[in-house]
């Protein structure tokens, strides 16, 4: 029994959440649209729990958990980016370009938002977007009946065009 108690303490100590949490932010909320087929949103909390919403209008939801190395690499990248030095939006005047929106929520619930349409954003913002995409692609996701509101989807997609009867 004593050995079992020691093993449990060691296990819990080695897997404590302080080693696998974001230090830079409390939550990352991200939406991407390729301009054509691909559209998804990702929400990652400070412990690496992830919810993915796949689609533009009718979304399917999935959940997963980032590996420790992904939590650390993402946190490290976020810490290196001087977000305050960059504009809140970058827009290229070309139709059907890829776009993304990143919303970072701090421990005090302050938000930092960056929107990019096209290829005019600073390289570090595109690097972060690509890093999130790679994590999402490699994440083991489980379909979920959870419905989530993504901050990054607010005012992201234009309203669908409807025709009024004459």
pLDDT at residue 165, as a whole number: 60
Q: Which residue has the higher pLDDT, 142 or 10?
A: 142
- Residue 4: predicted pLDDT: 31
Taking alpha carbons only, the member of 47, 37, 43 closest to residue 15 is 47
Q: Which residues contact 142 (CB under 8 A, 6 or more apart)?
A: 62, 63, 64
Model confidence at 2, pLDDT cuts 50, 70, 90, reads: very low
Nearest to 25 by CA among 151, 153, 154: 151
Interacting residues of 95 by C-beta distance below 8 A, sequence separation 6+: none
What pLDDT is recorded for position 159?
A: 55
For the stretch 9-52, pLDDT in tens is: 333 334 444 456 788 899 999 999 998 889 999 999 999 999 99
Mean predicted confidence (pLDDT) in 48-70: 93
Domain boundaries of the chain, sorted by first residue: 17-152
Tokens describing residue 117? 């349409």
17-152 CATH pick, 1.10.3470, 3.20.20, 3.30.70, 3.30.1560: 3.30.1560
What pLDDT sits at residue 9? 32
Residue 3 pLDDT exceeds 50:
no
* pLDDT tens track for 78-100: 999 999 999 999 988 878 889 99
């Amino acid at each position: 029994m004593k050995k079992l108690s020691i093993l449990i303490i060691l296990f819990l100590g080695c897997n404590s959440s302080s080693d696998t949490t974001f230090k830079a932010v409390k939550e990352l909320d991200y939406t991407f649209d390729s301009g054509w087929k691909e559209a998804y949103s990702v929400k990652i909390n400070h412990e690496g729990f992830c919810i993915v919403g796949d689609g533009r209008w009718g979304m399917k939801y999935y959940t997963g958990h980032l590996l420790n190395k992904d939590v650390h690499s993402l946190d490290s990248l976020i810490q290196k980016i001087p977000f305050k030095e960059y504009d809140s939006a970058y827009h290229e005047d070309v139709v059907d370009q890829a776009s993304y929106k990143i919303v970072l929520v701090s421990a005090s619930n302050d938000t930092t938002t960056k929107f990019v349409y096209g290829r005019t954003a600073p390289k570090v913002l595109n690097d972060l977007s690509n890093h999130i995409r790679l994590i999402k692609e490699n994440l083991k996701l489980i379909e979920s009946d959870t419905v989530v509101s993504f901050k990054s989807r607010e005012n992201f997609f234009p309203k669908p065009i409807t025709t009024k009867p004459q």
